[in-house]
Amino acid sequence: MGNTLSRMGVVAVVTALLGACSMFGTQKEPVAVAKPAAPKDPWQAIKTELASGASGSSLSVSPQDDGSLKVNLPADASFDKGSSAIKVATQPSLYQLSQCLNRHQDIRLRLVGYSDNSGDADFNVALSKNRARSVSEYLTAHGVDPARLTVDGRGDADPVDDNSSPAGRARNRRVEIFLTQ
């Protein structure tokens, strides 16, 4: 009987080992491997917020080749000739931008002012920089940290319209706003 019990023990151990070994050789169901998602647009939240603006604001955005995002203020509504005072019609758009920027503290801004070609070139460069400063001051008055802003003036360089008409000159009196991360 002792041999029978030891044979049964050996058979049980061998059966258990064979069962365990057979688990290593069996094919398991393939595991689905998640494909990496397409890269998200880092500007999507900003684009959505600015596109769904309050009444009275009219901002549009356009991605730039350098990865920045250009915020476009309403055409020909920003500044009068020879002035760096922001027109009332532009203020709702700037307010909307300031609120968006206050929700996205990691965004930096580059403000670039322009003028039409009326008058002295040196005066136009100073005027264009003052226009960019006016926008900067408006944004900081509405909570945007001034350390996030840089200001530049380009005078009548890079016109967006023909300076031969009053409407074209009005569109050239502008501040371009570039957002970077």
Return per-residue pLDDT of the chain as tens, 181 residues: 556 556 666 666 556 655 655 555 555 666 666 666 655 787 998 988 888 765 556 788 999 999 999 998 876 678 999 999 999 989 999 999 999 999 999 999 999 999 999 999 999 999 999 999 999 999 999 999 999 999 999 999 999 999 999 999 999 999 999 999 8
Which pLDDT value is given to residue 116? 95
The domains found in the chain, sorted by start residue, are 59-180 (3.30.1330.60)
Amino acid at 55: S
pLDDT in tens, 81-108: 999 999 998 999 999 999 999 999 999 9
CA dist list (Å): 116 to 24, 35, 139 = 78, 52, 24
In this prediction the pTM is 0.76
Rounded CA-CA distance 124/151 in Å is: 15
- Burial of residue 132 (CB within 10 Å: 0-12, 13-18, 19+) is buried
Buried b (16+ CB within 10 A) or exposed e, 37-47: eeeeeebeebb
